[in-house]
Amino acid sequence: MIMSANQEFLQNLYDAFNRREIETIIAKMHPDVKWANGLEGGFVHGHDAVREYWTNQFKAILPELETLNFETDESGRNIVTVHQIVKDLDGNVLVDTEVRQIFTIEDGLIFLYEIGETDTINEMIQKNKTAVEE
């Protein structure tokens, strides 16, 4: 598959995420980035907030993302469909799902990161726990 420049840019960031190279990714974000909080909902703003969000997230869960598909919508946003596996710190799978992640890239930097219609990771973990207990 031949990747566009933005697809290659994003694939490199997914690879860095899976290696927990937070600073590599933050360096590719606009200073005023608006980043979706996939864990709890809402957004965090700016480099320091994204750094703190991920640092805290990695203390509780181990997410892994595998890119499945890259698209560009009519607004020029990059939509990436990913296979998301979230494990607890002992390696038990909490969430195994597909998610659409939406990136607005301006001047070679991520300006906005959104998540397609889905539950937050915390909501998915809670639903999975409930399903297992029933």
Residue 42, pLDDT score: 93
Region 74-90: mean pLDDT is 95
Nearest to 121 by CA among 92, 77, 87: 87
Region 52-56: mean pLDDT is 95
Domains of the chain: 5-133 (3.10.450.50)
Q: What is the pLDDT of residues 6-39, one digit of tens each?
A: 999 999 999 999 999 999 999 999 999 999 998 8
User: DSSP letter at 73?
Assistant: -
Angle at alpha carbon of residue 79, lines to 77 and 84, rounded to 5°: 150
Distance spanning both ends of the chain, measured CA to CA: 43
The pTM (predicted TM-score) of the whole model is 0.88
For all residues of the chain together, what is the average pLDDT? 92
